[in-house]
Amino acid sequence: MKSAAAAIMSGLSLSAPPPPRRSAYLSTSTTRSAQGCFRLFSLSLPVHRCFNLTKNPIFVVRNCSSITAKPSSQMRKKHDTGLEQDQKLTALRELFGKPGINIDAYIIPSQDSHQSEFIAECYMRRAYISGFTGSAGTAVVTSNKAALWTDGRYYLQAEKQLSSSWILMRAGNWGVPSTTEWLNDVLAPGGRIGIDPFLFSSDAVSELKENVAKSNHELVYLYDVNLVDEVWKEARPLPPNKPIRVHELKYAGVDVSTKLSNLRSELSDHGSSAIVISMLDEIAWLLNLRGSDVPHSPVMYAYLIVEIDSAKLFVDKSKVSPEVMEYLKKAGIELKAYDSILSEIESLATKGAHLWLDTSSVNAAISSTYATACDTYLGKLGRKSKESNLSGAPTALFKSSPVSLAKAVKNHAELEGMRNAHLRDAAALAEFWSWLEDEMNKKVVLTEVEVADKLLEFRASQAGFVDTSFDTISGSGANGAIIHYRAEPDSCSIVDTQKLFLLDSGAQYLDGTTDITRTVHFGQPSERQKECFTRVLQGHMALDQAVFPETTPGFVLDAFARSSLWKVGLDYRHGTGHGVGAALNVHEGPQSISFRFGNMTPLLKGMIVSNEPGYYEDHAFGIRIENLLFVKEIDTPNRFGGIAYIGFDKLTFVPIQTKLVDFTLLSASEIDWLNDYHSQVWEKVSSLVDGSAREWLWNNTRAVVKP
């Protein structure tokens, strides 16, 4: 795999300007090593980054509509018919031969210009062209073929949504080619492959270029046109324009001036004079701002450039109220137009900036523009030699964003806000489950969408509610086996009392973000279902109780959650845990708990992660149990190696259905864990509910004993 320290976009073939060269501004001292060490706002730790797109060839796409919390029944849209998908593919292919384009294939990722997981509707290009609405996937269209790659969470969903014109590539399965392997196979040598450089990270494009070059293909940057937008035309939704708000200091814990000062110290320590920040949650966290541009995530579309003595926020100024304008002015932040980011990047080069670039997140348009501007700067001096080392010449430092880890380690106020938000969320869920159980007992017919909408009602009544944190996964029976299932009003199932029901949901509150999954049965579960549920629960308990050295990366813990399933030859096709933001994105890095062992980020005190093992039988049922945890230090009797040992504490307090547990499989200590957890649920939540919800909570938190 090409090193992330390779030249910024060096050697890329462009459709308009000539390809930028690897130039003298790239000093060898600025390259990122496989295992570096950087101090992050007073933290010093090793950081390992691994980007392997051949193993996980899935790119992501952004969307663009303002968001308010609406019921699922109002937000869902009818899927395209196969005929409509075919017409879109035909229109797209007709653009391939246009002047200034002239390509043989086009890659359509899921991301927006900021590598966002959730995106505004106007940027959902992959979903528009393919009909597949899952959050992760990459579409590739040639003159006579169309293929879509997605991971194990979405296999069943993609099977349902793709027309016969599309080839489904089940990424991660044995024998399935990557996007570039497939292109190298189906295109004649010397083909031209088009991309929108704003939608790919610099690292992703470097690897794409290297891989397609094996068949002498040329990667073509289409700066000025996105071909899917040309097909979409007037039907494309407008960009979001809702106002930005200040995230109160009582929730943020640290003011913006202090955060900027810490970041500037980090820049100085690494010999940088400026940094480009493009990840939306990093900008929101650093500036203590929140927005409504992206569904489920309280962020705004923006770029941020921080220099040693100044800062510029690139954003649609119509979103900035006088109050926010004054707030930014006091913090020394200048407002610039969102679409002026590339001209500012060029200006940094002319000033001889030593620019910090996180090439895993900054898009290829930005990194390539900086490379070209640096070449131009040196060219004007008449010093183009690669060996030149000019004092004052622009350079680049390739390194992970220091904001990412600083954001992941929550301060006291952020943790307190998360605790409080989870308790209110638990109260809403107790009211919801009490209602749903009563409706099922009365044999009321409810669809998956109606159930999700009712849950939204209960959450919306809680103080500080802002939005859902992702589309609720409400899956009865076989739909629960679709890991990221999304119920649609015109095609969803009835919640069947004779089948397992999986509900994965979350909320955004002013003070915190929640994410919880429970699996229940309203009738009599089968012995098979009980065994599978119990083994998932055992994995959940094992991870919850894990104690480990403070330098341990998350992938080391993944086996804790799978071990009980492995004993009988079972497993699941997703990671076990993801980071969670504090009143920010429900999925955040850099930490994770996953079988993908490339992420060497250690789990640190103050981080928040999910604990969500599962098991899924295709076309039958799905099981998942999810709580959020925060990392804390554990008082161990020994400290081998002189280091601290850490573990977890719970944020989520909602009962786990004991009807689904096969207690003959549980040890005495595992039963103690379940009883202790339910005791905590009652203690923390019972005072927040009354009536039938309180009665339901009592009935579902009573102690159990081993038969």
DSSP string, 422-435: HHHHHHHHHHHHHH
Q: Give mean pLDDT, residues 344-353.
A: 95
| pTM, 2 dp | 0.86
Boundaries of domain holding 179? 87-235
Is the predicted pLDDT of residue 467 greater than 80, yes or no? Answer: yes
Q: What is the residue type of 546?
A: A
Q: Please indicate whether residue 597 or residue 687 has the higher confidence score (pLDDT).
A: 687
Strand order in the sheet with 507-509: 465-468, 507-509, 512-513
Closest among 442, 441, 260, 279 to 357, alpha carbons compared: 279
pLDDT of residue 48: 33
265 assigned to some structural domain:
yes
As a whole number, mean pLDDT of residues 177-189 equals 94
Amino acid at 254: V
CATH code, 346: 3.40.350.10
391's CB contacts (< 8 A; 6+ apart) are: none
Tell me which DSSP letter residue 447 carries.
B
> Which of the residue ranges 383-387, 456-460, 595-599 would you say has the lowest mean pLDDT?
383-387
Taking Cα atoms as reference points, which of 123, 114, 486 lies closest to residue 279?
A: 114
Q: Give the number of C-alpha atoms closer than 13 A to the C-alpha of residue 128, restricted to the C-beta side.
A: 27
Task: Assess if residue 114 is contained within a domain.
Answer: yes
According to DSSP, the β-strands at 577-579 and 621-624 are: unpaired
Q: Give yes or no for a cis peptide into 489 (omega within 30° of 0).
A: no
pLDDT tens readout for residues 192-214: 999 999 999 999 999 999 999 99
Q: Are residues 363 and 429 in the same domain?
A: no
User: What pLDDT was estimated at residue 134?
Assistant: 87
The sheet with strand 577-579 has its strands ordered as 548-549, 645-650, 627-634, 608-611, 577-579, 588-593
User: Which residue type is seen at 440?
Assistant: M
Greater pLDDT, 574 or 65: 574
**pLDDT at residue 132 greater than cutoff 80:** yes
**Considering the domain boundaries, does residue 271 fall inside one?**
yes
Same domain (yes/no): 660, 579: yes
C-alpha to C-alpha distances, 46 to 29, 332, 400, 634, 641, nearest whole angstrom: 18, 32, 11, 22, 17
Same domain, 256 and 143: no
| In contact, 208 and 219? CB cutoff 8 Å | yes
Question: Within this chain, do residues 353 and 476 fall inside the same structural domain, yes or no?
Answer: no
- pLDDT of res. 154: 85
Where helices occur in 122-170 by DSSP H, the ranges are 125-130, 155-161
pLDDT > 90? residue 408? yes
Question: What Rg do the C-alpha atoms of the chain give, in angstroms?
Answer: 25
Q: How far apart are CA 523 and CA 525, in angstroms?
A: 6
Sole residue written with tokens 């009573």: 702
Q: What is the pLDDT of residue 567?
A: 98
Residue 535 included in any domain = yes
State yes or no: pLDDT of 81 exceeds 70.
no
Residue 9 pLDDT greater than 70, yes or no: no
| pLDDT at residue number 71 | 55
Candidate from 28-37, 291-300, 426-435, 664-673 with smallest mean pLDDT: 28-37
Is residue 615 included in any domain, yes or no? Answer: yes
Average pLDDT over residues 280-287: 98
**Do residue 489 and residue 342 come from a single domain?**
no
Q: Where are the beta strands (DSSP E) in 361-515?
A: 395-398, 465-468, 473-476, 500-505, 507-509, 512-513
In terms of domains, do 213 and 277 share one?
A: no
Domain boundary among 213, 235, 257: 235
Domain boundary among 235, 263, 296: 235
Residue given tokens 């009592």 in the structure block? 698
Q: Are residues 402 and 416 in the same domain?
A: no
Residues 456 and 472: beta-carbon distance below 8 Å: yes
- Range in 46-50, 326-330, 384-388, 629-633 the model is least confident about: 46-50
Neighbouring CB atoms inside 10 A of 245's CB total: 19
- 563-594 burial: b if 16+ Cβ within 10 Å, else e: ebbeeeebebbbbbbbbbbbbbbbbbbbbbbb
Q: What number is the average pLDDT over the span 151-163?
A: 87
Neighbours of 108 (CB within 10 A): 27
Domain boundary at 217, 235, 253, which?
Answer: 235
Distance, CA of 418 to CA of 515 (rounded, Å): 11
Instruction: Report strand pairing: 311-315 vs 333-336.
Output: parallel
- Asked, for residue 57, whether it belongs to a domain, the answer is no
Q: What pLDDT score does 20 carry?
A: 34
Rounded average pLDDT over 289-299: 96
Are residues 329 and 300 located together in one domain of the fold? Answer: yes
Summarised one tens digit per residue, pLDDT across range 550-580 is: 999 999 999 999 999 999 999 999 999 999 9
Give the model's pLDDT for residue 378. 82
Looking at the domain assignment, is residue 694 inside a domain?
A: yes
Chain mean pLDDT for the chain: 88
Per-residue pLDDT, averaged over 297-303, amounts to 97
At position 182, the amino acid (one-letter code) is: W
Distance of CA 188 to the CA centre of its chain: 35
Residues 278 and 330 in one domain: yes
The whole-number pLDDT of residue 381 equals 72
Residue 534 lies in a domain: yes
Please give the tally of structural domains in the chain: 3
pLDDT above 80 (res 385): no
Predicted local confidence at residue 6, as pLDDT? 28
Residues 156 and 178 grouped into a single domain: yes
Q: Is 652 within 8 Å of 640 (Cβ atoms)?
A: no
| Per-residue pLDDT at 155 | 87
419 and 399 share a domain?
A: no
225 lies in the same domain as 351: no
Domain holding 669: CATH number? Answer: 3.90.230.10
3-state secondary structure 175-230: CCCCHHHHHHHHCCCCCEEEECHHHCEHHHHHHHHHHHHHHCCEEEECCCCCHHHH
